Amino acid sequence: MSEYGLIINGKKVATTESFGVINPATEEIVGQCPIASRGQLDTAVDAAAQAFKTWSKVSDAERAAACGKIAAAINAHADELATLLTQEQGKPLGGSKFELGGAGAWAGYTGSLSLPDKVLQDDEKSRIVQTRKPIGVVGSITPWNFPLMIAIWHVVPAIRTGNTAVLKPSPSTPLSTLRMVEIINEVLPPGVLNCVTGTDDLGQWMTEHPGISKIIFTGSIQTGKKVMSSSAASLKRLTLELGGNDAGIVLDDVDPATVAPGIIHGAFMNNGQVCAALKRLYVPESIYEALCEQLVAAAKGGTMGNGLDEGTTQGPLANKMQYDKVCSLLKDAKANGGRVLCGGEIPEGPGYFVPFTIIADATSGMRVVDEEQFGPLMPVIKYTDLDDAIAQANGLEVGLGGSVWSSDPDRASAVAARLESGTAWVNQHGPISPNVPFGGVKCSGIGVEFGEEGLAEYTTIQVLNIAKSAA
């Protein structure tokens, strides 16, 4: 079993305490996660602050090249990292390799982005130029569903814009992140990227820390509110990508067999453990049973098991907490009239396994509809009035993504424009790319990631106002 340490100022640092990280497929210990002390967090922040003094002044070209080096380092170690990721997160090895491919691609693309100066005015009186400057030390707090790719989403834009970073992964999936940061440090100056691990207390210490100037957090709405509250004393800059309970609205002109596979992919990718997964499906009465039949057909045929086993297409849920929540939602749906079309039975034995489950006859007020499942449950809600379906889709406090499905893209686009969501997809659900801003509205977050707009979140604006005459 490998020895893991914090990564501070380019070096592996031991801790006096640790805890076991559980493989969700076997419930056996994968490795020991080091628990950082408050003093070690201070050391990491100090290292980042010292590195910021020089990193913020290197050339734009050098920082862009660093992103390429990060991408190359990740790609060179992709197989090693993917295996470790599957062991601690549970997803099939193919899914882990997909995540590592995404992490490398995102890092490389981020290097191609830039934020050039803008000349706002240049006349006989004055020249006014808007520039962007790095903020300082960025604190990154990442979740357990895509721990490596989201870590790259957080820290590479920070590095690209001249900031330095202290990264804290989820206690459920810390080991692959520690190893990835160790690898990345082979191509970065010491202190530019640090990684500390531990319990939830560590996250609060970071959000309260006076030496951290910005927090980027991906996770639940409840925790996001706590992050915002504890960051208030020092008025930290914030980017929050929080929970979603994305609605999909099917229009009455679709061919059920055509749209069902895309709907199932949008709902059950990564075992449903995606912030912007399709988590509520509204279907018109006229095609309700036909579409339900096709959804069941599209959901069947996979193999559930240990992600390291050949042929596995669905692994376990990532941790006991999420497993218990999903089982509770399933039990509640059954008790309140939900009709289970497929799945629905929890297997015996070790591991946090829940099969792909489609629940028909779901209604607003059921927990499985009103709460974010973050697992392989999809409620299907019948509607007779499109305006009412849109109102139901918009009726929750969340607004991350949403989708509309139709044989007429123009008609679907008009409906999608009425969704209260940061992203509205048509005839697909969930695809994202590094050149397209991504973020939520309402309680699904503050700020955006990706593209130039996401890069700008790691900077402050300075206006240089130059009078052309001293008079």
Q: Quick one: which of 143, 79, 72 has its CA closest to 111?
A: 72
The upper half-sphere exposure of residue 346, i.e. CA atoms within 13 Å in the direction of its Cβ, equals 17
With contact defined as beta carbons under 8 Å apart, do 130 and 303 qualify? no
User: CB burial class (10 A; 0-12, 13-18, 19+) of residue 350?
Assistant: middle
Query: Which residue among 67, 195, 275, 292 is the active-site one?
Result: 275
Neighbours of 80 (CB within 10 A): 14
Active-site annotation holds for 453: no
Q: How far apart are CA 140 and CA 151, in angstroms?
A: 8
Which amino acid makes up residue 209? H
Which residues in 71-230 belong to E strands, given as ranges? 118-122, 126-134, 137-141, 164-168, 193-195, 214-218
Q: How far apart are CA 171 and CA 327, in angstroms?
A: 22
Q: Residue 457 — left, alpha, or beta (φ > 0 → left; ψ -120 to 50 → alpha)? A: alpha
- 177 contact partners, CB below 8 Å, separation of at least 6: 142, 147, 148, 151, 167, 169, 195, 197
Neighbours of 223 (CB within 10 A): 19
Give bridge partners of residue 195 from the DSSP assignment: 7, 167
With contact defined as beta carbons under 8 Å apart, do 29 and 21 qualify? yes
Active-site annotation holds for 195: no
Place of tokens 């991408």: 71
Query: Which residue among 88, 182, 241, 372 is the active-site one?
Result: 241
Number of H-type helices and E-type strands within the chain? 15, 20
Catalytic residues: 241, 275
